Amino acid sequence: MGRFNVDTRVPGVALVALTGEHELYGALKLQERIESLIAEGLSIVIDLTETVFVDSSIVGVLLNARKLAQSSGVDYSVVLSGSTGEPVRRMFEITGLTQILPIVERDEVPSRSDYDSSSEVSSPGSRFSIGGSTFRA
């Protein structure tokens, strides 16, 4: 069973990170949480970079959240990366979700030019931008 965390440190944005395997058991709780974040007017970023598996109930939550976000006028994105589980990627490709959901591919290794030479970064990690906000994982 997987878990999800919500990070609202970036003003106006809720980063919802799913880790592990997600299925029907946790779908309702996830849906309710995303709906409450949208009701607060927050842009939604669904982070699937550490997700190993999702079943059709979670896909339904993601699709419903996209529809609700659109009707509420908030941004909605789904983030994938090289660390996203192969079953998740396969489901997105086979079902055409990559064409339906707003997918952002997180780069795995940013180039040195992505960083200001005056800043110290011990482990650069990965960065991606959504709606003018830059995230570092």
pLDDT tens digits along 71-115: 999 999 999 999 999 999 999 999 899 999 999 998 643 333 343
pLDDT of residue 135: 56
Q: How confident is the model at residue 123 (pLDDT cuts 50, 70, 90)?
A: very low
Q: What is the pTM of this model?
A: 0.78
Query: Which whole-number Å values give the CA distances from 70 to 38, 92, 114, 116, in the listed order?
Result: 10, 20, 31, 35
| Phi/psi at 116 (5° precision) | -65, 130
Tokens 């607060």 appear where? Answer: 40
- The pLDDT value recorded for residue 1 is 74
Sign of torsion, CA 85 125 131 31? positive
Helix H segments across the chain? 24-39, 56-72, 86-95, 97-100
Could you give the domains of the chain?
3-108+119-136 (3.30.750.24)
Give the chain's length. 137
d(CA 77, CA 20): 19
pLDDT of residue 30: 97
Contact predicate 104/78, CB 8 Å: yes
Judged against a pLDDT cut of 90, whether residue 120 lies above it is answered with no
Measuring CA to CA, which residue among 48, 92, 90, 75 is closest to residue 132?
75
| Confidence at residue 31, expressed as pLDDT on a 0 to 100 scale | 97
Confidence of residue 130 (pLDDT cuts 50, 70, 90): low
Could you tell me whether strands 76-80 and 103-105 are parallel, antiparallel, or unpaired per DSSP bridges?
parallel
pLDDT above 70 as % of the chain: 77
